[in-house]
Amino acid sequence: MNFDFSDDQKQLRDQARKFLAEKCPPKAVRVVLDGQAPYDRALWKGFAEMGFLGVAIPEEYGGAGAGHLELCVIAEEVGRALAPVPFSSTVYLAAEALMLAGSDAQKQAWLPKIASGEAIGTLALFEGTGNPSPKAIKVEAANGVLNGTKKPVADGAIADLIIVAARTGSTGRDSDISLFLVDAKAGGVEAKALTNLDPTRGQAELTFKNCKAEPLGAAGEGWSILTEVLDRAAVLTAFEQVGGSDRALEMGRDYALDRIAFGRPIGSFQAVKHMLADMYVSATLARSNSYYGAWALSTNAPELPEAAASARISATQAFQHCSKNNIQVHGGMGFTWEFDCHMYYRRANALALGLGSLSYWEDQLIDRMRKRNAA
Amino acid sequence: MNFDDTPQEAAFRSQARTWIAANAPKQYEDELRATSLGRVGLKNADILQVAKAWQKKKAEAGWACLHWPKEYGGRGSSPIERVIWQQEEGPFGKLSGMFIIGHGMCGPTMMAYASEEHKRQYLPPLASGEKVWCQLFSEPAGGSDVAGLRTRAEKRGEDWVINGQKIWTSGAHYSDYGILLTRTDPTVPKHKGLTMFFLDMKSPGVDIRPIKQASGHSDFNEVYFTDVVIPDSQRLGTVNDGWNVALTTLMNERMSIGAGVATGVPELFDFCSNLMLDDRPAIEDRNVRSRLASWAVRASGLKYTSIRAISALSKGERPGPENSIGKLVAGPMIQDVAAYALDLQGAAGVLSGPEAELAGKFQAMLLRAPGTRVEGGTDEIMRNIIAERVLGLPGDIRVDKDLPFNQVPTKGRN
């Protein structure tokens, strides 16, 4: 047994952290936050050059073929630095869906472009309020074309490749749903950028009007593929959340050591110490659950669905908890635009929603635990 | 990152499994499996005798105190082998409860400070369960502030004479020996005037009085010392260096980590699967699912945190203060889980006894949990440890730190 990342993986983490510290300081994040660019193009190019985009993509499709543990390590650093790039939508969602369900031709067409940073990808799943469910999908696919509207779609306005969940049946079963692949440049899709809670990552409304689409995976298999894509993305996102939690904790700790009140560093007051200790506890539990998810993801273990839901819930709670209390430790300063606290708070609350909210994942976890207990 | 046994670990596991299958007291298996926190005991047998018999069997076959050196009754196993043993021992591991303090704290302290002759004399019967040990640290005036203790040890010839009182001493009523922290110099600051000993609990002048707990059980005791004589050869460490010896003991408490800390979650999950609420299983209720999921991820988080710690240990790292997290998370959780299980039963949650087995089970947890949150350091002390020793925040202001102990105020209000 060895429940830790290897030395090589830790080295990759250090490398990614160093790169991001240099290329993605808070002021770079703020350029996107302030709306001066939809994402950090230079950083994205750097990601491609460093090999971060294709780390889990097999070599035959232009990637490094290293694996998902390596991707987890990078995701953690992306979360720590709040990197304002379409990493999660491209790598965790589009690339994973292609690797899971794509034909060889589809993989050949798109995975090398993703690995090289040439193509941004996303998954168009949601249609307004509510959690992932086959019944909520109204966008229709018939005769090779899509019609309907998706929102919100993460990075939808800048995506080149869109994976769309669409309705191909009306039996009321999961098998009504199929997945499609859309080349955004081929026409038939209209994108509108939407204002959102965390402007460092864009959200869009996509309207498909007789948009040409090719099937991804077998007809009627869409929902089961989607569930697996969401599980995989949940583990990877959990690492972003763990990275963000740790950084928020560090910011709070550093401030508590520097800031003097009543003649003492505020970090010497038990009320503040205990708040920071509780942040450490939630970040640690999330990290451990995420490691378990990483193991299940990298080995494709039957435990993956349960591990993914645990990692997702635990990391969502931790990042919300740490980013919220980081502001509290900072007091009034934490509430200002100038301090970086709100950027973590925004990201935490946006990440909490992107793959379906907590209630969706709680449902998933309980169902999966019941299934295991019944087995 | 993997959970697979190495060939060596797999061989150890299969050897352990075979031996346990052939030797464990199977007649108690179901009852032990159903035992949850706060309800240790067997209906038709004396649990101490059953535990001692199982421990003796293990010791004779070389399965006792796995991590101890062989010459003192152990096996010299790796941390991962300890975990494998725990996994294989399953519910029979609950029988080790009364030996935890002896094996986890007293034994290692003896190993660090006792003479070689004493180690060979006292450790093997401790490993085999023949002799039970307790730890005499806490006092009415020194709970979280352990160094504030007042039990005196005075030198008289080659002996020491002990007077004073200890409290919260787990298992003192069935213990044969104890390690005892005393004050030997009240004129210096509190941490500098302490000395550690070990003693025979049957010595004249030792008076053990069980404390009836909130649960109605008596697991702890008050222990009074009246002119108890301890030979100087039973001193552990040098005179007035007892605080450092105590720190060794407390450090070793952290070594007793395992992958199976009680959280109450499996019990709650079963309970919610079976309880009918508004004509359907409680587990189908949105609110129940949400609460259950939150606790379940805390429990799994703890489990994988301890597996990470064991991985680190097996690479030669020392267990650090971050291991305080286990008790800090599990203690309050058991309390909340138990209260929630009762809440789900409505007014009937208040009943116990033979007609209300389920409620009774969670009531026992509820009544034991406050103790879990206090023993070995309160939640607040655990948070201080994490804040100060893991996160590097300043220590609490301790106004008595440099004051001679006999000048430390003893009352808040006059």
For residues B246 and A251, what is the distance between their CA atoms, to the nearest angstrom?
Answer: 35
Residue B82 sits in which domain range?
7-128
B4 touches chain A (CB under 8 A): yes
Structure tokens at A116: 């090289």
| β-pair partners for B231 | B159
**Single residue among B245, B278, B306 that ends a domain in this structure:** B245
For residues A256 and A253, what is the distance between their CA atoms, to the nearest angstrom?
Answer: 5
In DSSP notation, B254-268 reads: HH---S----SHHHH
For residues B393 and A276, what is the distance between their CA atoms, to the nearest angstrom?
Answer: 9
Residue B399: inside a domain = no
Q: Are A75 and A93 in contact (CB under 8 A)?
A: no
In DSSP notation, B118-144 reads: HHHHHHHHHHTTSS-EEEE--BTTBSS
Q: Are B288 and B280 in contact (CB under 8 A)?
A: no
Can you give the CATH number for the domain in which B30 is found? 1.10.540.10
Q: Flag if A370 and B283 touch (Cβ within 8 Å).
A: yes
Q: Which domains does chain A have, with CATH numbers?
A: 7-88+101-117 (1.10.540.10), 122-220 (2.40.110.10), 223-374 (1.20.140.10)
For residues A94 and A181, what is the distance between their CA atoms, to the nearest angstrom?
Answer: 10
Same domain, B223 and B139: yes
Searching chain B, which residue's CA lies closest to the CA of residue A361? B293
Residue B412: inside a domain = no
Can you give the CATH number for the domain in which B368 is found? 1.20.140.10
ipTM entry: 0.96
Q: Are A323 and A244 in contact (CB under 8 A)?
A: yes
**Among positive and negative, which fits the CA dihedral B293, B296, B302, B303?**
negative
Q: Where are the alpha helices (DSSP H) in chain A?
A: 7-23, 26-33, 41-50, 68-81, 87, 96-101, 104-116, 222-258, 270-299, 304-330, 341-354, 358-374
Amino acid identity of B45? A
Same domain, B351 and B323: yes
pLDDT less than 50: residues of chain B? none
Question: What confidence score (pLDDT) does residue A341 get?
Answer: 98
Same domain, B359 and B301: yes
Residue B398: inside a domain = no
Number of domains in chain B: 3
User: Which of B1, B293, B310 shows the shortest C-beta gap to A294?
Assistant: B1
Look at residues B343, B394, B334 and name the one whose alpha carbon lies nearest to residue B366.
B334
Residues 280-299 of B with CB under 8 A from A: 283, 286, 289-290, 292-294, 296-298
Structure tokens at A6: 């290897």
Same domain, B231 and B288: no
Residues 38-97 of B with CB under 8 A from A: 80, 83
- Element at B117 (helix H, strand E): helix B116-127
Distances (CA, A) of A65 to A191, A215, A292, A296, A363: 33, 26, 21, 18, 34
CB neighbour list of residue A344: distance below 8 Å, 6 or more residues apart? A82, A244, A247, A248, A251, A319, A322, A323, A326
Task: Give the minimum alpha-carbon distance from A45 to chain B in angstroms, rounded to a whole number.
Answer: 30
pLDDT less than 70: residues of chain A? none
Q: Are A329 and A374 in contact (CB under 8 A)?
A: no
Same domain, B64 and B13: yes
Best interface-test mutation with A: which of B9, B289, B391, B396 has the largest number of A CBs within 10 A? B391
Residue B403: inside a domain = no
Same domain, B119 and B56: yes
Distance, CA of B265 to chain centre: 20
Look at residues A241, A296, A231, A285 and name the one whose alpha carbon lies nearest to residue A68.
A296
Same domain, B374 and B284: yes
